[in-house]
Amino acid sequence: MRAMVAGLNAIVWERDPQTWRFRFINDRVEEVLGYPVRQWLDETGLWQEILHPDDADAVLAAVRATIADGEDLSLTYRVRAADGRWVWLQHLAHVVRDEAGTATALHSVLVDVTDAKRRELAAALLAAAGRVLAGPGSVEERLAAITGLLVPGQGDWAAVWLRGDDERYRPVAVAPTGLADRLRAVGPVRVPDELDAQLRAGRAFAVPEVVERLTRAATTDEAGFAALTAIGGASVLAAPLTTGGAVVGLLTLTAEVPDRYDEADVALGVDLGQRLATMVAAERLAARRRQLHEITVALSAAGTVAEAAAAVTTGLRDVLGAALVAVRTLAEDGQLHTIDVVGAPAGRWDSFTTMRLTPAVPLPDAALTRRPVWLPDRATVAERYPAVVGSMSDQTQAVAALPLLVGDRLVGALAVTFRTARPFDHDERAFLHTVADQVAVAFERAALADVRREMAEVLQRSLLPGEIPDVDRLAVTARYVPAVQGTSAGGDWYDVLPVAGGAVAVVVGDVVGNGAPAAAAMGQLRSALAGLLLAGLPPARALDVLDRFAGHVAVPG
């Protein structure tokens, strides 16, 4: 019998149903749980002590009830192995009774079902996570709900961190929620160099034992190190949130026992991290679309090139958190002239208001080649454009320069600088490309409007006398106020004409509508009336002739 039991791939034991003392237990118990047979035989309460706190009350109550009046029992629960792992056991028990019905032995067979149970729990966890990620709420609220699903089953605490432009990670969700303030005190963290390559390759990893060296490498100062150490954790699993080949965030699970996480845990972290990344990327894309729409609306409302430039500089600085945004147009002299700039240090931009097209400077180079220039860090700037390093602000770390094109025609250039290194990932490049296209179209539209406005004003002024004549015995002054300033030409005019006999003719004309056709028609009528009055016709006769002349003039209806 012992030989047969020894060959089973299961823990087999017999216990006294009254004292719960072990009478027999096979060697398999040490293979599965790590505690030697002798310890089980000597320590009556060992089994009770290693039951998972969340399972203990229900398991003990079920065993007692079976011993009291039952025969067979089937339970699934967790126990803590000698190395700190939680092991799932399928426990089948049978109560042996004498003729009087008194329990005389408790026979049990226990099978390690951890792998199957973990697969089951992982599937349930991913399903629950899917429902949360597809549900309502802000990004932060949904990420907080995800971390809540992970504790305590996957660790003692869990956090989601989003990556900033400085390549450091800041917590946006943590469970238990009571750790939120303590985790914020840690400040932004970085992934130690020895582990960062795995994250950038999109691979999750487990740290079997967190040592002081790693904690110091992850934090920026002593305060952050002390705060992270106080939160605690002996082992960590980290999974990247990757989208479009770029790491946008990090999911971490932390346990108080060393070597808590294995390959199955890492696989779960990868799957969950990818789902989180998809949601974060979708929300960022939606936010970018909203931001692009707002900038586009502002550009559409711009009536002049200056207004369009101001709309894009202000909008981009707010959306991207840029240090400086500058817009230039290509002037007739073949140089780039600044139209609007925000974020420029006082006095430093004065010498850059006009720039000639040269490949030695990022913005003119982008305009010259008709291709955008992406400089993710200061070292790249120094390598490609060494001539500009001396004139750069000390805070400038990354630069984007884009040409403003209408078809193949260059109309200007857009520059954006940042105080931290910036990878300029695919989404951000696409966003800036689209903004540049919108700005170019807005500039073209506004420039045409400026030309039309100038032409209208010239045409309108042509209807007015160049100067008011000096008239004996009469003080003459005039004020001309268009109904709407600076929009379009109209047909209104006035005139003051000395005529024969010392008389003065004062004319006010308002006959047809607005626009260039009206101004052209009224110009003919003004000239005809002035000629008639100067020829000596009295006002009534002059107007009668003018009325017949108007029939030969194309007057807009």
**CATH 3.30.450.20 region(s) of the chain?**
2-112
Residue with tokens 């002739």: 545
For domain 2-112, give the fold.
Answer: Beta-Lactamase (3.30.450)
What own/partner pairs with CB < 8 Å and gap ≥ 24 does 545-553 have? Answer: 549/525, 550/511, 550/525, 553/521, 553/524, 553/525
pLDDT at 216 over 80: yes
Q: Which residues lie closer than 8 Å to 458 by C-beta, 6 or more apart?
A: none
The residue type at 337? H
The most confident of 104-108, 356-360, 498-502, by mean pLDDT: 104-108
Full DSSP string of 287-333: HHHHHHHHHHHHHHH--SHHHHHHHHHHHHHHHHT-SEEEEEEE-TT
The reported pLDDT for the residue numbered 4 is 45
- Hey, what CATH class is 118-286 in? alpha beta
Alpha carbon 107 to its chain centroid, in Å, reads 60
- Looking at the chain, the whole-number percentage of residues with pLDDT higher than 90 is 49
Beta bridge partners of 90: 76, 111
Confirm if 102 and 74 have CB atoms less than 8 A apart.
Answer: no
- Residue 1 confidence class, pLDDT cut points 50, 70, 90: very low
Q: Higher-confidence residue: 144 or 543?
A: 144
The reported pLDDT for the residue numbered 502 is 76
Nearest Cα residue to 39 out of 52, 51, 56, 22: 22
Task: Specify whether domain 302-455 bears CATH 3.30.450.40.
Answer: yes
The residue type at 158? A
The reported pLDDT for the residue numbered 460 is 63
How much is the pTM? 0.60
The reported pLDDT for the residue numbered 496 is 83
The reported pLDDT for the residue numbered 17 is 95
The reported pLDDT for the residue numbered 205 is 92
Provide mean pLDDT across the span 296-317. Answer: 85
pLDDT at 145 over 90: yes
The reported pLDDT for the residue numbered 20 is 95
For domain 463-550, give the fold.
Answer: Phosphatase 2c; domain 1 (3.60.40)
Task: Classify residue 57 as exposed, middle or buried by CB count within 10 Å of its CB (0-12, 13-18, 19+).
Answer: exposed
SS3 59: helix
What whole-number distance in Å separates Cα of residue 219 and Cα of residue 266?
24
Full DSSP string of 241-269: EEETTEEEEEEEEEESSTT---HHHHHHH
Pairing of strands 354-356, 205-207: unpaired
The reported pLDDT for the residue numbered 10 is 93
What whole-number distance in Å separates Cα of residue 114 and Cα of residue 452?
78
Greatest CA separation found in the chain?
150
Least confident segment among 5-9, 40-44, 399-403, 440-444: 5-9
Edge-first strand listing for the sheet containing 11-15: 22-25, 11-15, 103-112, 86-97, 72-80
**CATH 3.60.40.10 region(s) of the chain?**
463-550
What is the torsion angle, in degrees rounded to the nearest 10, for the CA atoms of residue 130, residue 136, residue 142 and residue 145?
A: -80
- Residue 446 confidence class, pLDDT cut points 50, 70, 90: low
Give pLDDT tens digits for 462-503: 666 767 777 777 787 777 666 555 555 566 777 888 887 778
**CATH 3.30.450.40 region(s) of the chain?**
118-286, 302-455
Confirm if 198 and 226 have CB atoms less than 8 A apart.
Answer: no
pLDDT at 321 over 50: yes
Mean pLDDT across the chain: 86
Give pLDDT tens digits for 239-298: 999 887 778 899 999 999 888 898 889 999 999 999 999 898 888 778 888 888 888 888
Dig out the tokens for 224 from the structure.
């952050």
Angle between helices 114-134 and 263-301 (to 10 degrees): 10
The reported pLDDT for the residue numbered 116 is 92
The reported pLDDT for the residue numbered 483 is 58
Whole-angstrom Cα Rg for the chain? 41
Q: Higher-confidence residue: 543 or 457?
A: 543
Angle between helices 426-462 and 516-534 (to 10 degrees): 10
What whole-number distance in Å separates Cα of residue 14 and Cα of residue 42?
14
Q: Higher-confidence residue: 552 or 463?
A: 552
- Residue 458 confidence class, pLDDT cut points 50, 70, 90: low
pLDDT at 553 over 50: yes
Provide mean pLDDT across the span 443-465. Answer: 65
pLDDT at 554 over 80: no
- Looking at the chain, the whole-number percentage of residues with pLDDT higher than 70 is 90
The reported pLDDT for the residue numbered 421 is 84
- Range list of H helices, 185-262: 193-200, 212-218, 222-231
pLDDT at 555 over 70: no
Give pLDDT tens digits for 52-87: 998 999 999 999 999 999 889 999 999 999 988 889
Dig out the tokens for 28 from the structure.
């398999």
What whole-number distance in Å separates Cα of residue 228 and Cα of residue 540?
97
pLDDT at 408 over 70: yes
The reported pLDDT for the residue numbered 463 is 62
The reported pLDDT for the residue numbered 469 is 77
